[in-house]
Structure 1
Amino acid sequence: MSAEQMFYLIIGIISVQFVFEQWLDYLNKGRWQSPIPSELEGVYDDDKYKKQQAYQKANFGFGMLSEFFSFALMMAVLFGGGFAIVNGWVMQWSDSVIVQSILFFAVIGGISTVLNLPFSIYGTFVIEERFGFNKTTVKTFVLDAIKSMLLTALIGGPLLALIIWLYASAGSLFWFYAWLVSSAFMIFMTMFYTTLILPLFNKQTPLEAGELREAIESFSAKAGFKLDNVFVMDGSKRSTKANAFFSGLGSRKRIVLYDTLINDLSTEEIVAVLAHEVGHYKLKHTLWGTINGVLQTGVMLFLFGLVVNSPLLSQALGVNQPNFHIGLLVFGILYSPVSFLTGMFMSLFSRKNEYAADAYAASFGLGDALISGLKTISGNALSNLTPHPTYVFFHYSHPPLLQRIKAIKAK
């Protein structure tokens, strides 16, 4: 294969992915006005259903615009030799492969952040504000952006530098050592994200004593779940949408409830949602998710190690001498179809886990309360109750509400 053929293969992969995503969005759009199934009656009244339709329409149009902008920008950069230009700049700044690669990704990332900033602002302060979801202040938005950039520099920079050092010094075993480093980092973040990173953005406080705490402790005793870390997070700082999640492994496990969830649901509904999260722990979903992530990373790094020094990858983007950052960039694009397929299977795996966690909660007689809570959460978020099955298959990490309700009632 010539460098020109490789270039057009890259163009083809990006183009096919873009067209496919637009097709999925189009399919999903056609289901917006489908009649609401009888099992979901009461989620929306007529006025709220009209609001939900308007919200979906606004997000669809905005999503199309942002996706087309990203696609057009990528095409412009590829045909204009933009990556080769940035590569030429960083080569002039340093002879160190580590410095060159970090500067390359810093420039690309910085430009991408600036160009996408207007879309982020519009999505938060126009669309989410218009439909009553946004609680983010300008100060919080700016601080979030600054913190995210600093974290990327302080954590991502040294991690990337270590991997590049391994690439330069470990020879053919580079991929294996990089896998060990990446896996250690992945496990560390799984265990400590909610205690080290999340507090930089949100305040978490232990669930206070009272009716809810007593109800949760009663359930935990029945479930044989050691209740040490149940926290309330100030999700209302940014949005009115409610959520809850489980994170961590072993003694580092933690359940986090959004304060909006506590405000929106009854005590029994909250216990049902928490039982669902406990189900994820009891059924070892977090552990298996981490193992799957580690294995996928190993496969990806093995394949990357085989081709990183190929001149063909760099020459496809107009760079004569192969280097780490251009090789990684091209490999990421070429690997994206594989990522798409593995992501599809991970979504199937995730949806299966959600059904199992629902069944776990229902096994304690909390099925009706869970259904009621899920209906409230979906209604308050103006969720699409009738998504297209094909769109669900490729994009949903959770089953649609109707399928979850049917599965819970079947238990």
Structure 2
Amino acid sequence: MSQTIFYIILTLIIVEFFWDRFLLYLNTTKWSSKVPSELSGIYTDEEYAKQQRYSKVNYQFGWITGTYSLLLIILMISFDGFAYVDNWALSISDNPILRALIFFGVIGFASTLLNIPFSLYSTFVIEEKFGFNKTDAKTFVLDMLKSLLIGAILGGGILALIIWFYTATGIYFWLYAWVLVTVFMLFITTFYTSLLLPLFNKQTPLEDGELKSAIQAFSDKVGFKLDNIFIMDGSKRSTKANAFFSGLGSKKRIVLYDTLVNDLSVEEVVGVLAHEIGHYKKKHTLWGMIIGILQTGVMLFIFSLFVGSADLSAALGVNAPVFHIALIAFGILYSPISGISGMFSSIFSRKNEYEADAFAAKYHNAKSLISALKIISVKALSNLTPHPLYVFFHYSHPPLLQRIEALRKFEK
């Protein structure tokens, strides 16, 4: 049975890789040397040619990095690499929690080291070549070290508690783990911008002036109490612009990238802000969290049915049932279900984006949001002609042209 699981795991990994490559290939069929008629007025000939070059470079780079990752995981599985790391961890400690922490610590650190060359090339060659990169070497190194530390503390802490639940309650651990993960999700949603984000970016309260007055006027108009508006130094790393809403209750906060404020007019920034407030007013954030919590519960319950299987661990070369080895094997076997749920999440997310756009158009105006979306897309060299099948499976936002088409109905 373990041999069958082994081949299923390998098959899933390979099929998923080529399925993703196929979808990406479909996008290349939409490439053109000339600006499509529907993009007239959005891209100039020069900007569009640059966007096409950017897409091609990233497509080729994606093949290299994807193939590299595929070969690494196949080698790890085929030559009992996970079993080797686990045996090394076991030689240090037979405590199930410490053993798992050592195991994932080694895997995580090794993965980071092996992928550093690609991260460097992406940041300092590709992004630099197309004028996006603002990251210096010091920031790059600090970001990596901080990410590793946060992952070790938060990820390690949650893993340790889940394994402790398993050793104490057996297969019923999933209920306690579900509660733990739910609390963690609520905590991150509430305090991300005030506790974690400051480790990477500086946030400054929006100063009094025309923009703040316009934002406050719109917030009052739609009955949205907003005391926390911050500008984030996104230009520290990239020229790309963004904005996001985070937090719950009194901790809710709007964060605007400084690049967004610099690139857009006051009316356009308010249009983007209106879209973000629309997500809150339509309860998209709440429903997204509820769906995420339910999906996590289902996954943990299914995992609890197989965690004690000797065959699951044996498929990765470990003879006795081991929680963290079973977790890896299960994660791969669960990927088809995860892919299907991700597809439905993308559909749900795109619906929410249309609703947030409609809110902004109704209570602010469609024209300023359309203009803002165009500027953001052009400056980011976004692909404005993705293949519909790729959009269906992977896009959390509708393509720009579809959003503009929907927004123009409000102009009439």
**Under TM normalisation by the shorter chain, which class is it?**
over 0.9
CA distance in 2, matches of 1:154, 1:69: 28
Alignment match, 1:166 = 165
Counterpart residue number, 2:318: 319
The answer for the alignment partner of 1:138 in structure 2 is 137
Which residue identity does 1:325 align to in structure 2?
A: H
Distance in 1 (CA, whole Å) between partners of 2:44 and 2:380 is 14
Count of aligned pairs: 410
Structure 1's unaligned 5+ residue stretches are none
Q: Which amino acid aligns with 2:399?
A: P
2:304 matched to which residue of 1?
A: 305
Structure 2 residue 24 is the aligned partner of structure 1 residue 20:
no
Percentage of pairs with the same residue:
62
Q: In structure 2, what is the equivalent of residue 387 of structure 1?
A: 386
Q: Could you tell me how far 1:317 is from its partner in structure 2?
A: 1.2
Q: Which moved more, 1:75-84 or 1:269-278?
A: 75-84
Deviation at 1:42, TM superposition (A): 2.0
> CA offsets per residue over residues 176-207 of structure 1, 9 Å max, x none?
00100011001110111011000000001111
- 1:249/1:287 contact within 8 Å kept: no
Which structure 2 segments of 5+ residues have no match? none
Counterpart of 2:285 in structure 1 is 286
Aligned mates of 1:41, 1:328 — CA distance in 2: 50
Q: Does 1:345 align with 2:374?
A: no
Distance 2:56 2:293 in 1: 38
Residues of 2 paired with 1:272 and 1:309: CA distance? 52
Secondary structure of 1:185's partner?
A: helix
RMSD: 1.0
Q: Which amino acid aligns with 2:115?
A: N
CA deviation after TM superposition for structure 1 residue 40, in Å: 3.1
CA contact (8 A) 2:276 2:356 kept: yes
- What is aligned with 1:202? 201
1:189 aligns with 2:188: yes
Counterpart contact for 2:226–2:253, Cα < 8 Å: no
Using structure 1 for the length normalisation, give the TM-score. Answer: 0.98
**Rounded Cα–Cα distance in structure 1 between residues aligned with 2:205 and 2:10:** 51
TM-score by length of 2: 0.98
CA–CA distance in structure 2, aligned partners of residues 122 and 171 of structure 1: 46
Residue 110 (structure 2) aligns with: 111
In 2 relative to 1, CA 179–34 (structure 1 residues): closer, same or farther, beyond 3 Å?
A: farther
SS at match of 1:63: helix
Output the amino acid matched with 2:53: A
Q: Secondary structure at the match of 1:363?
A: helix
Moved more, 193-202 or 167-176: 167-176
Say if 1:36 and 1:386, in contact at 8 Å, map to a contact too.
no
Secondary structure, aligned partner of 2:363: coil
1:216 aligns with 215
Q: Secondary structure at the match of 2:208?
A: coil
CA separation in 2, counterparts of 1:175 and 1:47? Answer: 55
Structure 1 position 365, deviation (Å)? 4.1
Which residue number corresponds to residue 94 of structure 2?
95
CA distance in 1, matches of 2:141, 2:318: 36
Is 1:58 the counterpart of 2:57? The answer is: yes
Distance 1:212 1:149, change over 3 A: same
In the TM superposition, what is the alpha-carbon distance from 1:38 to its structure 2 partner? Answer: 4.3
| 8 Å contact kept, 1:249–1:286 | no
